[in-house]
């Protein structure tokens, strides 16, 4: 899984990833983050997520580096909301994926044929590694999943 920002067919990377269900604490963490995002109005649309990401990153960047708060709670909340949107729209589920890069929360579908890392996708946008818009990410991912499923249905 060289790119944890995109849908990956299973088996990409040096070794096959290990996929395991979230435990009770991990499920509670994702649920808490999604609830926080919902209370902030972020579950309304991918555009709301994108606007919030830009506003939060801009505000964070305007603070002197030694005075900045840890951005990880904000990144995790936005990423969990993004992941939950994909779960809701595309029939995916939350899991843990362990691969050569470590262990991360992910959303998967179609018996591991689809693997997405929404928190990592947001982190890459926070750090500037990716400039992609979250609304475009959701729309593009949804289209890619539909194409994969159509191809699998005709195979």
User: Residue 133 has which token pair?
Assistant: 């818009």
Tens digits of residue pLDDT in 22-36:
999 999 999 999 999
Residue 15 confidence (pLDDT): 76
Structural domains present in the chain: 22-61+68-154 (1.20.120)
Closest CA to 93 of 111, 73, 69: 111
pTM score of the predicted model: 0.89
């Amino acid at each position: 899984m060289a790119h944890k920002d995109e849908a990956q067919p299973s088996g990409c990377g040096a070794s096959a990833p290990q996929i395991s269900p979230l435990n009770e604490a991990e499920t509670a963490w994702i649920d808490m983050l999604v609830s926080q995002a919902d209370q902030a109005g972020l579950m309304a649309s991918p555009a709301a997520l994108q606007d919030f990401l830009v506003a939060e990153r801009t505000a964070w960047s305007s603070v002197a580096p030694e005075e900045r708060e840890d951005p990880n709670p904000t990144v995790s909340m936005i990423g969990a909301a993004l992941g939950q949107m994909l779960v809701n729209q595309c029939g995916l589920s939350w899991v843990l994926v362990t691969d050569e890069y470590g262990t991360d929360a992910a959303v998967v579908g179609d018996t591991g044929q689809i693997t997405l890392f929404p928190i990592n996708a947001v982190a890459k946008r926070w750090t500037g590694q990716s400039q992609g818009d979250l609304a475009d990410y959701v729309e593009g991912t949804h289209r890619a999943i539909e194409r994969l499923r159509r191809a699998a249905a005709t195979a």
